[in-house]
Amino acid sequence: MASRLNNLAAFHQKLAKANRILAICGAGLSAASGLPTFRGAGGLWRNYEATDLATPEAFAEDPGLVWLFYAYRRHMALQVKPNAGHHALAALAKKNPNFLCLTQNVDNLSPRAGHPPSQLRTLHGSLFTLKCSSRSCNYMEPSNTADPLCPSLAPASVSPPDPSQPAKIPLLDPSHPLPRISPSQLPQCPRCQESGKQSLLRPGVIWFGESLDATMLSEIDAWIDQGGPVDIVLVVGTSSVVYPAAGYAERARTKGVTSVVTVNKEVEKRMWTRQEDLAFQGGAEEWLGKMFEPLIGALPGGGNE
């Protein structure tokens, strides 16, 4: 029996017969673009745990601090480029209208690679969406890439001269005091302002303790449920045996035979215990172009911008 690890020929056979394809992408997809993700334990920003800044409570307590953190992430995301993994997924989407891509990344790199918006769902929102922080207002502003976003957040829009030493810029040096930013210096919701209220705009990302967009989730469920079998579930830059990828793979399998294909730096045997499953060990930027090549052709310059 042929190996189910790093077997391009086996994947090409599946791809040739596949109609409906679902991808679930995690932080590993953007790693090769050079972005820190700050998710999970040990993600420090200055001397703050990044997870402590990504909550509604932190925003309520010190919106200026939380905005500086997000303004820095917006700035950094604008400095990097989509990699060959983003380009390969975007090219596959253009070739196959029955390919839906879910991403946990908020960095906007898939849209920048030209991924058709109708075939992309950003599970955790986007750094470049602004939304009203008031629960009674649903104002939302998509695709705001202003950098700096406003004068008070300009200290976050400074690039480190050496990207491998980000702590060398004043904003990231914990011995440098942070600028104090009052709420009145932060972006305000224009809709609330019209009705004489004052509400801050906040980053349009899902914070810890918040639920994902219910409409988006039911659209994804409907996509899985309302067509033929999902032939391939691609799990890119995250683990296929933990939520949410594991949940989507399980749901897809109820429709028929689904090959779950993992592309991740870390793979483990339980990802390919079923004979229809495959795994590729390494970065999305190394593998996806080769995997999709029979359909999308060779990516120019290996697909890296």
Interface with Zn ion, residue 103, by CB under 5 A: no
DSSP letter (8 states) at residue 166? G
Interface with Zn ion, residue 189, by CB under 5 A: yes
Binds Zn ion by CB under 5 A, chosen from 191, 251, 253, 255: 191
CB of 138 to Zn ion, least distance (A): 8
Q: Is 150 annotated as a binding residue?
A: no
* 149 contacts 200 by C-beta, under 8 angstroms: no
Q: Using alpha carbons, select from 79, 105, 82 the residue that is nearest to residue 157.
A: 79
Segment contacting Zn ion by CB under 5 A, of 35-43, 86-94, 133-141, 212-220: 133-141
Q: Using alpha carbons, select from 102, 98, 100 the residue that is nearest to residue 119.
A: 100
Interface with Zn ion, residue 199, by CB under 5 A: yes
Q: Is 137 annotated as a binding residue?
A: yes
Residue type, 279: A
Segment contacting Zn ion by CB under 5 A, of 35-43, 70-78, 179-187, 197-205: 197-205
Binds Zn ion by CB under 5 A, chosen from 5, 10, 80, 137: 137
**Residue 9: strand, helix, or coil:** helix
- Contacts for 60-65: CB closer than 8 Å, 24+ residues apart: 63/133, 63/181, 63/183, 63/186, 63/200, 63/202, 64/152, 64/179, 64/180, 64/181, 64/182, 64/183, 64/185, 64/186, 65/178, 65/181
Binds Zn ion by CB under 5 A, chosen from 84, 88, 102, 132: 132
Q: Is 25 annotated as a binding residue?
A: no
Interface with Zn ion, residue 139, by CB under 5 A: yes
Interface with Zn ion, residue 192, by CB under 5 A: yes
The catalytic residues are 124
**Residue 62: strand, helix, or coil:** coil
Q: Is 192 annotated as a binding residue?
A: yes
* Known binding-site residue numbers for Zn(2+): 132, 137, 189, 192
* Known binding-site residue numbers: 132, 137, 189, 192
List residues near Zn ion by CB under 5 A. 132, 134, 137, 139, 189, 191-192, 199
